Chains A and B, each alone.
Chain A
Amino acid sequence: MEVRVPVTEIVDRFLAGDRRALARIISRVENETPEGRDYLRDIFPHSGKAHIIGVTGGAGAGKSTLTGALASEYRNRGKTVGIVAVDPSSPFTQGAILGDRIRMQSLALDPGVFVRSMASRGALGGLAPSIADVVAVMDSFGFDYVIIETVGAGQDEVEIAGTALTTLLVNNPGTGDDIQAMKAGIIEIADVLIVNKADHPGADILVSQLQALLALAPAGSRRPPILKTIAMKPEGLEKVADAIDDHRRWLDESGELEKHRMSNARHQVVAAARAILLQRIQRNTSAEELDELVRQVAGRTLDPHTAAEALADSVRG
């Protein structure tokens, strides 16, 4: 491979472990600026070493608290942790309140931990495509583990499972969420099932419900372990960390890791291509041209697909 000189000194500082450089590069990458793309190009070859963990589940399930407690457990084991905590953007104003740090206070000054809050920014829910890029930046920085926290809203879980190597699904007793999860098929993306708030009544019932549900899984598929935690205390995190390590070992030994990397890379390439095309269309189309097409579609004189073809043709022209 050709040895390339990093584009700027900020990449040098990043590679030397400068946390401010890390923070600034994340911003450029998150905002999908041309600089951000240059940085990512130079940094990306350093990624692929961290174990990437997804933490998902309903709002208030204790994902942030659990993420913080899990990071503390890794710190006790001498490992470093990068955290990407995603909260939804308001669909109306595109603003967001990102409050996950509140639950991670004990890590606030730990030099082996870096917490970055992100708004989902997706126009229609779902994850911003740049989340995978931000995770790659954290990974390249050299953290042993990168944890992504997202609010489960259906589609997000599936996307997070693409980026994460091990996905934790956080459930609570007595909320009926288990039934919800089953309906949505979300449980299928879980590598480790967590029953958090095990200090609340009904934890054991939820565990047996989840067990019954897993018994329906096709024979030969890997059964995710079900673990009780009290993240607030914290209690039960050693077992969670062990289960994650077990899952990683299984990924390595079964050949699933390689498959996962291939499918994730494919997804990222296609998503990036889609984003580039959309940008080109936006560059080549004026607001008036779009408005005109929209008027025709609304007036039923043109169908949406032909209108979209016209937009796509602008790229060729």
Chain B
Amino acid sequence: MAAAPKSSEKKIRVLIAKPGLDGHDRGAKVVARALRDGGCEVIYTGIRQTPEMIAEAALQEDVDVVGLSILSGAHLELFPRVVDELKKRGIGTDDVLLFCGGIIPEEDSKALNTLGFKAVFRPGTNTQDIVKFVYEHAAS
């Protein structure tokens, strides 16, 4: 009975978070909206999130995906701490799909991939590519 709405269908739950002190979240909101329009349930926590807050939100919300947005350049400092805080709560990089976006130099991609980030999206990315990526990789 494919025509009937299935309210019990598993939805992909995504946490979109902005770690660090930069106070500008237009990009994060655009991504959140694109994922919503793609049918995901997006938990949006706003700006100035500490690594602990992000990991705790991921735990409480039991998300399938965590997307981090950063513009300040502090990604190599903050992202490893997010991954650590997730691990402290029993959430490994196999349990949750990690991606990031923002102003991140090309040469940092490798370090972020090693850390567990499956994709790095830069300004100018088509949001549809992000939606597609989430649907292809989210473990659900």
Chain A interface (Cβ within 8 Å of chain B)? Answer: 19-20, 23-24, 26-27, 31-33, 89-90, 93-99, 101-102, 105, 108-109, 114-117, 119, 121-123, 128-130, 279, 281-282, 285-287, 290-291, 294
Contact = CB atoms under 8 A, between A and B. Distances in A.
A98 B42 CA distance: 6
B90 A123 contact: no
B62 A285 contact: no
A105 B61 contact: no
B41 A19 contact: no
B60 A95 contact: no
Interface residues of B, number: 37
B33 A97 contact: yes
Interface string B42-80: 111110000011001101111000000000000000000
10 contacts: A19-B59, A31-B11, A99-B46, A101-B43, A108-B52, A116-B61, A282-B6, A286-B1, A287-B2, A287-B3
Contact of B36 (A24, A31, A93): A93
B135 to A, nearest CB: 12
A99 B89 CA distance: 23
Nearest to B89: A20
Contacts of B44: 97-99, 101-102
A93 B135 CA distance: 14
B87 to A, nearest CB: 12
Nearest to B45: A101
B5 interface: yes
Interface string B1-15: 111111111110100
Contact of B8 (A27, A31, A98, A291): A31
Nearest to A23: B62
A95 B35 contact: yes
Given A117-B61, A122-B7, 18 more contacts: A20-B59, A20-B90, A26-B62, A90-B36, A94-B9, A95-B11, A95-B35, A95-B42, A97-B36, A98-B42, A98-B44, A102-B45, A105-B45, A109-B56, A116-B61, A123-B7, A285-B1, A287-B3
Given A95-B35, A282-B4, A119 B41 contact: yes
Contacts of B3: 287, 290-291, 294
Nearest to B29: A97
Most buried by A among B6, B42, B62, B89: B62
Given A23-B61, A31-B8, A32-B8, A93 B38 contact: yes
Interface of B: 1-11, 13, 32-33, 35-46, 52-53, 56-57, 59-62, 89-91
B11 to A, nearest CB: 7
Contacts of B37: 90, 93, 95
Contacts of A290: 1, 3-4
A282 B1 CA distance: 5
B60 A93 contact: no
B53 A95 contact: no
Contacts of A294: 3
Nearest to B10: A31
A13 to B, nearest CB: 10
Contacts of A128: 7
Contact of A121 (B7, B13, B46, B61): B7
A69 to B, nearest CB: 17
